[in-house]
Chains A and B, each alone.
Chain A
Amino acid sequence: MAELLQTAAHAEHDHKPHGWRRWVFATNHKDIGTMYLIAAATMFLIGGLAAMAIRAQLFKSGMKLFDPAMFNSLTTMHGLIMIFGAIMPAWVGLANWMIPLQIGAPDMALPRLNNLSFWILPFAFTLMLASFFVPGGAVAGGWTMYPPLMQQFGAAFPMLIFAIHLMGISSILGAINVIVTIMNLRAPGMTLLRMPLFVWTWLITAYLLIAVMPVLAGAVTMQLTDHFFGTSFFNAAGGGDPVLFLHVFWFFGHPEVYILILPAFGIISEIIPTFSRKPLFGYEAMVYATASIAFLSFIVWGHHMFTVGMPVAAQLFFMLSTMLIAVPTGVKVFNWVATMWRGSLSFEPPMLFAVAFLFLFSIGGFSGLMLALVPSDYQYHGTYFVVAHFHYVLVPGAVFAIFGGVYYWLPKWSGRMYDMRLAKWHFWLSVIFVNVLFFPQHFLGLAGMPRRIPDYAPQFTDWNMVSSIGGFIFGASQVLFPYIVIKCIRSGKPIEANSPWDGAHGLEWELPCPAPYHSWQTPPTEAMLAHGTGH
């Protein structure tokens, strides 16, 4: 890491503090972006270790490593860590690094707020992880935290809720910063409809964050007051309604899953044109499709609750609205495919991850479509089929897009090229074993294996073994990623040109490698803009 700082440091005008002050008092978007990415990678590792423990426990029927309560804590914390600790901070880190570069700004608009929104996170994560060690162990009610079960946990319960509040505040501040930056700091000539898609998808994501993080905060706060202050929001015995929590949670929860995936759409929309050497097909359609997905994401939450016993009319409504999301999602996939069509493709690591994203995210979309059909969902819900679905959209979806984004922009950040051969190894191991890991879970779910169980009937053993083996190899292969990044920063081959990718367009590629400490100190020229946006 130290080298990255050095490379950034030899930029002119560096009246920045040195040593630890540079990080604690950081206001530079790149420094903060780097810290976010390191935090995300750390949490990805911890969440990954929890996943390995889960897969070890499930390796075969009857085998027991952990007590069921501990197992439930592991699955709960795995989910929370991956969503709030790994993927969301990774997106904010990428936003910090790339948005100013891509819109021609010197930095984010609100640097001190930026510092605060990052430095909240270590406290939030520490609190969340520390809850493993309090009496009774970590919360074990699933990342969905349904009451009344959630009310049964000890000291970990308020700790988790406080951690969620902190992470929520951090996300909201980060989102405000993104919106203000995009609205106010675009270079002259960078109209909204010339913005790169990563910026567009992040802008929409930021609105989603501001809309739904307070909803989550409200939902968990009501649980807190139910527990400690004698209210009965969700307590049936006191006249409350446990199902109310499910509605409020999923009103947050479904937009949340789009918070996790929209920036990925943005990155894929950057990578595919570059390595197809062709402008993105249907740029405007992509923007409108993203916006309609975001809008629809607010009216589909009931599809997580088909077995709760909602009125049939409500179930019908949620089925139809959910199916409608497939239309703009399809438009996006078709546009990516059309971008590759009659292009001139090459397969550097970012493109490999992007192509894998196209195939595997689509598989997650197909299972999503199947889950949307209410009668079928009666059978799928609460089984490994759902686990397979959301892991296909989250791992070869969101996580692969993060890998692709890092492999795409790392040369711009560090001024050096990474080891392509190793990165391809990382890709092939990941793409093969992510399927070995998750594809059999479709079978398990259909054959009747419920999710969130620490032990299962012997007939499920075969596919669980396959899945666990896939999981171990997938997990082990991820060690390559930090190794490749660190090796690149320390000893990668320096890059002379502004861009290592011959097909890349975008303002970030008009700057030298590595990008200067205060990104754009003079606005880009119209010629740069025209070259950068390609339209």
Chain B
Amino acid sequence: MKRTRLGRLLATSVLGLAGRLPLAWGASGWDELNMPRGVTSASRSIYALHMMALWVCVGIAVVVFGVMIWSLIFHRKARGAVPDVTLTHSTKVEVVWTAVPVIILASMAIPAARLLLKINNNADPQVNIRVTGFQWGWRYQYVGSDVSIISKLSASSNAASQLHSGISPTSVPHYLLSVDHKVVVPVGEKVRLLITSVDVIHSWWVPDLGVKRDAIPGYINEVSFTIAANRPGIYRGQCTELCGRGHAYMPIVVRAVTPAAYQAWLKQHSLSRGEAAAHTPAATLTST
């Protein structure tokens, strides 16, 4: 009696969940479940490391949970199992289950350390951009030119995000992930960001680039990426360090273009000096 009622409860909740799965998968495939592979060699290597760690964990789980489940099934009192009270200690297995994890951990740590050293290389950048976080938006200054952009949440997202706005978020293109002025970078060239903040700590994150670095007042953090030459496009991210009321409302949108288009863009903007650049008609090219 007890068992059937419990069984029914289990079945309904499992079915309920399963019912949602196709919905979720249908919406946008695996993207909704896993880390993006991204468009830089760093982001791809991170993805590979992540999957490797995930499968190692799954493997350990299968073994450990398997032994546990075996016990739960076959060593039950209800099945008449008699406890083996002498089984309290065994130096041999204890050495094994200390040593084997060390080996497994080392096999994860070595590739992780290699990758860490590789992606923390900021030498010889071709483009340098100063990134300054503020409450709530980002300012981008292109080093070696006078181009400077202030990038804030797009007006349409901003309007929809107001309390009781009545605007459906799905009616807004890229709700909360669109800005008024995008930061433009060339593909195939090494871009170095010099990240800081003027007020509180923020964090600049674009998953597809595999880049996340905190923007801290008084510090200039360096981070570099090279977008694959065949992957121009728009890449979106968000601030990932709580920075106050507007933390959810300071997205990052990167527009990656060919080096030639990048040079043209830069030239166009340096003609119209300073911050005003963002308001020239040419700048509207970069909006949404």
Contacts and interface: CB of A to CB of B under 8 A. Distances in A.
Interface residues of B, number: 106
Contact of B64 (A362, A378, A457): A362
Nearest to B196: A236
B169 A370 contact: no
Contact of A334 (B88, B97, B113, B119): B97
Interface in B7-29: 9-10, 13, 17, 20, 23-24, 27-28
A344 B83 contact: yes
Nearest to A465: B20
A466 B211 contact: no
Contacts of B61: 362-363, 366
Contact of B6 (A276, A344, A428): A428
A381 B2 contact: no
B144 interface: no
Interface stretch (B68-76, B124-132, B182-190, B263-271): B68-76
A448 interface: yes
B205 interface: yes
A320 interface: yes
A378 B212 contact: yes
A309 B72 contact: no
A436 B13 CA distance: 9
Interface string A342-380: 111110000000010011001100110110011110110
A453 B247 contact: yes
Contacts of B87: 278, 281, 338, 341-342
Interface stretch (B158-166, B226-234, B254-262, B278-286): B158-166
Contacts of A333: 64
B273 interface: no
A458 interface: yes
A312 B120 contact: yes
B175 A62 contact: yes
B143 interface: no
Contacts of A340: 68, 71-72, 75
A: interface residue count bin: 35 or more
B71 A337 contact: yes
A61 interface: yes
B32 A443 contact: yes
Contact of B207 (A61, A379, A466): A379
B71 A455 contact: no
Contacts of A233: none
B176 A345 contact: no
Interface stretch (A94-102, A146-154, A402-410, A488-496): A146-154
A381 B240 contact: yes
Interface in B90-112: 93-94, 97-98, 101-102, 105, 108-109, 112
Nearest to B206: A448
Contact of B101 (A64, A67, A327): A327
B36 A378 contact: no
A280 interface: yes
Nearest to A436: B17
Contacts of B9: 428, 432
Contacts of A320: 109
Nearest to B73: A345
Interface stretch (A237-245, A260-268, A507-515): A237-245
B205 A382 contact: yes
Contact of B116 (A315, A433, A443, A454): A315
A319 interface: yes
Interface in B176-200: 176-177, 199-200
B155 interface: no
Contacts of A486: none
Contacts, number: 304
Contact of B242 (A142, A331, A379, A446): A142
Nearest to A371: B53
Contacts of B17: 436, 466
Interface in A402-449: 421, 424, 428, 432-433, 436, 443, 446-448
Nearest to B84: A342
Contact of A375 (B32, B102, B116, B239): B116
Contacts of B116: 312, 315-316, 319, 374-375
B163 to A, nearest CB: 5
A24 B185 CA distance: 67
A63 to B, nearest CB: 9
A169 to B, nearest CB: 28
Contact of A432 (B10, B32, B201, B210): B10
Contact of B246 (A68, A459, A462): A68
Contact of B170 (A308, A458, A535): A458
Interface string A255-289: 00000000000000000000011111111010000
Contacts of B24: 462-463
Interface of B: 2, 6, 9-10, 13, 17, 20, 23-24, 27-28, 31-36, 42-43, 45-46, 49-50, 53-54, 57, 60-61, 64-65, 67-68, 71-72, 75-78, 81-85, 87-89, 93-94, 97-98, 101-102, 105, 108-109, 112-113, 115-117, 119-120, 160-165, 167-170, 174-177, 199-201, 203, 205, 207, 210-214, 216-219, 221-222, 237-249
25 contacts: A64-B163, A64-B165, A68-B247, A141-B242, A146-B201, A149-B200, A236-B217, A278-B83, A312-B117, A316-B113, A326-B101, A340-B75, A345-B76, A362-B64, A373-B49, A379-B43, A379-B207, A379-B210, A443-B32, A446-B34, A450-B238, A458-B175, A459-B27, A462-B23, A462-B24
Given A344-B77, A378-B46, A447-B32, 18 more contacts: A61-B169, A141-B242, A148-B199, A148-B200, A152-B200, A283-B89, A309-B214, A309-B221, A358-B68, A373-B53, A375-B112, A378-B119, A379-B35, A424-B6, A432-B9, A450-B239, A452-B242, A458-B170
